[in-house]
Chains A and B, each alone.
Chain A
């Protein structure tokens, strides 16, 4: 059921409004992703211009199952092939997240604010908001695709394959645009729609890992669009037809979204939100209880997702180590760099990757403070008997303890799953737990940065995301370039001892912790002295 002309009347002004509201965030998103991918390509080209070095690196990556499990296998021993491999997971994940957040923001969030209600009643057709959101989101994805293709070609990679690689990433973004167009029709609240879409993204990631290329469940990766991106085989034969699968799903989901949208009322979802209780439960009587009520959904979501992730990663670990043990050459290689067993390199990699993911939670949990302030929810508490410090601390508790809880749950399921297959429970579990916990000060650093910004320069509180982006880029660069140590040291994640790679505990970890606490204290102090602003 395609929209008729009347139902999309007013789309153009809405597009203009959306672009105006996002005039900063869209270029930032585009720039971040494009630079990340082109930066990776440039560093690979820079580092492996020598064919022999390239070949050696390829063999090393290809034979290292811990890497192929998470990042997929390298399909072609060329700079292009390595670029496709290195960006094959992170590129789609990031463009997917961008698409989800933009779609939710421009459909449901708007509707919740009642702005749509206002627009709909005048000259704006009922499909206008969906159409404008789809249009801008597809547009952003197309621009990203073009820029990446152009960049890769300019960097000197092969023409057709560069296009195929960027099309794969762009198609993934469009797919999640379409998926979110459907989820926003299903749920009544914007946060539910976000959970649903992000949940699917996580599921696809998990399926991709279970169906990793050297495993025996390889076919499972065909259930995941992340697997499709891999199967496009950019720089390794270019299987164009896989793009057809994307097209079919994008089209089908878009049509479904329009059909659902025409069936529901503005402001409600297909799955209707039930009415709630007329009285609050006995426990809802303090600022802390309220934060728990508002926050628990997100916390439970993260705990469940990472418990699952830990399990998947733990079970994969066994097959990975088996594969490593069978490869004598590689076994020798890693015994030179780390003094642990074959599983150690795998765990070191997993923890390094996930440390930064947990930092996302650490930021999310405290950025609530700024959201609640600017949406004026906090005013209802702060003009009641809740003090400013009390309100801030009750949110902080969740950021600090919540990230620790997620970390512990992840490490436990990782260790238990691995232990259950290796048979060496107690020892492995404790080691994994310890190596994971040392990441906490780095994760809390981001809580600290966010709280500091909130207390001192609230309007710029979202800069903490820029900080995290910067740390991720620094760590990625460190992987490929000979970056000078002082730049690497800027990232708190550099300071974390990689216990599985043979590092020992250092004083810098203590300093990191102290710095995080100091930032939080300054933020608390600043908030007590400043105006509450919208």
Chain B
């Protein structure tokens, strides 16, 4: 039985369609990445999974149960960290961790202390006085402190500094070792790449790609930098070679996965001095899928 099973999920906010026939399956023990640009529908999907929102159409099963009707039963078996963490300003971080942990059932005090130490959190501060990153830490610790089957994180490292991001990644890897299931949404690609076994890419409410990284890479271009003994010619006429920059015996370009073999054979005739091939990053994957629009948006900071 899959831990999460979403079939043809559709959600409307009034007339606006936020999700269109979303399919998503997460197996037990998997760390699953859910990526997409702002407003793609990541949070909406997660909030339906948690029974905070009602679905309009489709089927959603969480550990075999319905997240809307069996919400409380299911919530004891999972821990969730929302995208934008807001906590009661008059409670201290330590109190929030205890409260949320106790509500979910028993938790290990030693693990609590260990997590607080690892995340370098001062648990005696009032939540109203925490910075964004520290509030995020409180929510993360309250989730990680519970020993549950499923962990759901909505953009978990938003606001964390690189050091703490590292701590978080370590925690996720430990969860994976312990056989836990993790679903995390993000638009920080490096994070998803480092942590996840499989990913789904969502855009404008539709899943446009699902698979392991190796599978997804097949769909993308590898970038190649080469120094040769003789000037390189003929590359510009090969289909599947893009963004070519040639400077005599030095060239830089990217190549479609299926043309790789052909291109490398072509290159050998010029005598290879050095060749660097970089597998595509998720960044490039994104740009490929979201096209011009995405890279433009990135530049203007929209």
Chain A interface (Cβ < 8 Å from any Cβ of B): 112, 114, 188-189, 191, 267, 273, 275-280, 284-287, 290, 293-294, 375-377, 379-388, 529-532
- Residue in contact with A383 in the complex, picked from B54, B75, B87, B124, CB distance below 8 Å: B75
Decide: B92 and A377 in contact? CB cutoff 8 A: no
Chain B residue nearest to A117 in the complex (CB)? B131
Q: Are B103 and A286 in contact (CB under 8 A)?
A: yes
Which residues of B have CB within 8 Å of A278? Answer: 92, 94, 123-124
Beyond A293-B91, A385-B75, whether A275 also contacts B52 by CB under 8 A is no
Known contacts A377-B86, A379-B86; can you find 8 more A-B pairs with CB under 8 A? A273-B129, A276-B124, A279-B123, A280-B91, A377-B87, A384-B104, A386-B72, A532-B47
A382–B90 Cα gap in the complex (Å)? 19
Contact, CB under 8 Å: B54 / A280: no
Contact A385 B103 (CB under 8 A): yes
Select one of A114, A277, A294, A387 contacting B72, CB under 8 A: A387
* Bound Cα distance A275, B122 (Å): 10
Q: Judge whether A530 and B103 touch: CB under 8 Å.
A: no
Do B95 and A387 touch (CB < 8 A)? no
Asked if B52 and A285 sit within 8 Å, CB to CB, the answer is no
Stretch at the interface among B76-84, B176-184, B186-194: B76-84
Q: At the interface, yes or no: B128 with Cβ under 8 Å from chain A?
A: yes
Residues of chain A contacted by B84 (CB below 8 angstroms): 376
A295 → B minimal CB distance (Å): 11
Contacts of A381 in B (CB 8 A): 103
Query: Contacts of B75 on A, CB cut-off 8 Å?
Result: 383-385
A384:B128 contact, CB within 8 angstroms = no
7 A-B residue contacts at CB 8 Å? Answer: A112-B128, A275-B126, A276-B91, A277-B124, A279-B123, A385-B75, A385-B76
Contact of B132 with A by CB under 8 A = yes
> B296 — which chain A residues lie within 8 A by C-beta?
none
Q: Are B126 and A532 in contact (CB under 8 A)?
A: no
Complex CA gap A531/B11 in Å reads 11
Q: A273-B126, A294-B90, A385-B104 are in contact. Are A280 and B95 (CB under 8 A)?
A: yes
Establish whether residues A531 and B52, one from each chain, have CB atoms under 8 Å apart when the complex forms. Answer: yes
Q: Which residue of B lies closest to A529 (CB)?
A: B54
Contact A280 to B99, CB < 8 A, known contacts A375-B86, A382-B52: yes
Enumerate B43-99 residues with CB–CB distance to A below 8 Å: 47, 50-54, 71-72, 75-76, 80, 82, 84, 86-92, 94-99
Chain B residues whose CB sits within 8 angstroms of the CB of A286 once the complex forms: 103
* B125 contacts A by Cβ under 8 Å: yes
Contact in complex: A285, B99 (CB < 8 Å): yes
Find B95's partner among A277, A383, A384 (CB 8 Å cutoff): A277
Are A189 and B52 closer than 8 Å at their CB atoms? no
Chain B residues 117 to 147 lying within 8 A of chain A, measured CB to CB, are: 122-126, 128-129, 131-132, 139, 142
- Answer yes or no: B263 CB below 8 A from chain A CBs: no
Interface set of B (CB-CB < 8 Å, partner A): 47, 50-54, 71-72, 75-76, 80, 82, 84, 86-92, 94-100, 102-105, 122-126, 128-129, 131-132, 139, 142
Most chain-B CB neighbours within 10 Å: which of A275, A375, A385?
A385
B residues less than 8 Å from A279 (CB atoms): 94-95, 98, 123
How many Å from the CB of B19 to the closest CB on chain A? Answer: 13
Residues of B contacting A379 in the complex (Cβ-Cβ under 8 angstroms): 52, 82, 86
CB of B98 within 8 A of CB of A276, answer: no
Whether B95 and A267, one on each chain, are in contact in the complex, defined by CB atoms closer than 8 angstroms, is: no
* A114 CA / B84 CA spacing, docked (Å): 14
Q: Which residue of A lies closest to B92 (CB)?
A: A276
Complex Cα distance A470/B132, Å? 41
Query: Nearest 3 pairs between A and B by C-beta?
Result: A280-B98, A276-B92, A278-B94
**CB-based contact A114/B132 at 8 Å:** yes
Chain A residues closer than 8 Å to B123, beta-carbon distance: 278-279
How far is B99's CA from A450's CA once the two chains are assembled, in angstroms?
28
The verdict on A383 contacting B98 (CB below 8 Å), with A112-B128, A286-B103 known, is: no
Q: Tell whether, in the assembled complex, residue A532 and residue B53 are in contact, meaning their CB atoms are under 8 Å apart.
A: yes
Q: Are B95 and A284 in contact (CB under 8 A)?
A: yes
By beta carbon, the residue of chain B nearest A191 is: B90
| Bound form: Cα–Cα A294–B89 in Å | 10
Contact assessment for B94 and A112 in the assembled complex, using a CB-CB cutoff below 8 Å: no
Partner of A384 from the list B47, B54, B100, B132 (CB cut-off 8 Å) is B100
Q: A189-B89, A277-B92, A278-B124 are in contact. Are A284 and B76 (CB under 8 A)?
A: no
Q: How far is it, in angstroms, between the C-alpha of A376 and the C-alpha of B82 when the chains are bound?
A: 9
Cα A251 to Cα B218 with chains together (Å): 73
User: Assuming the A-B contacts A277-B92, A277-B94, A377-B87, are A384 and B103 also in contact, with contact meaning beta carbons closer than 8 angstroms in the complex?
Assistant: yes
- CB nearest neighbor in A for B46: A383
B124 touches which one: A267, A275, A285 (CB < 8 A)?
A275
Q: With A276-B126, A278-B124 in contact, do A532 and B52 touch (Cβ < 8 Å)?
A: yes
Nearest CB of A to B23, in Å: 22
By the criterion CB–CB under 8 Å, are A377 and B88 in contact? yes
A377 to B135, CA, bound (A): 12
B49 to A, closest residue via Cβ: A383
Selected contact of A290 from candidates B76, B80, B99, CB within 8 Å: B99
* Contact residues in A for B94 (Cβ distance below 8 Å): 276-280
The interface residues of chain B lying within 8 Å CB-to-CB of A275 are 92, 122, 124-126
Q: Are A294 and B88 in contact (CB under 8 A)?
A: yes
B86 touches A376 (CB 8 A): yes
Please measure, in the bound complex, the distance between the C-alpha atom of A279 and the C-alpha atom of B89, giving whole angstroms: 16
Collect the chain A residues with CB atoms within 8 Å of residue B89's CB.
Answer: 112, 189
Q: Which residue of A lies closest to B112 (CB)?
A: A279
CB-CB < 8 A to A114: which residues of B? 131-132
Distance (Å) between the CB of B65 and the closest chain A CB?
14
Answer whether A383 and B88 are a contact pair too, CB < 8 Å, given A279-B95, A279-B98, A285-B103. Answer: no
* Shortest distance from the beta carbon of B283 to any chain A beta carbon, whole Å: 28
Instruction: Report how far A234 CA is from B90 CA in the complex, Å.
Output: 45
Residues of chain A contacted by B129 (CB below 8 angstroms): 188, 267, 273
Name the residue on A nearest B109 (C-beta): A279
User: Which residues of B are found within 8 Å of A387, using beta-carbon distances?
Assistant: 71-72
How many Å lie between the Cα of A361 and that of B294 in the bound state?
A: 51
Alpha-carbon separation in the docked complex, A112 to B87 (Å): 12
| CA distance in complex: A375, B76 (Å) | 23
A529 to B98, CA, bound (A): 30
A4 nearest CB across to chain B (Å): 29
Contacts of B92 in A (CB 8 A): 275-278
**CA A112 – CA B50 in complex, angstroms?**
29
Contacts of A267 in B (CB 8 A): 129
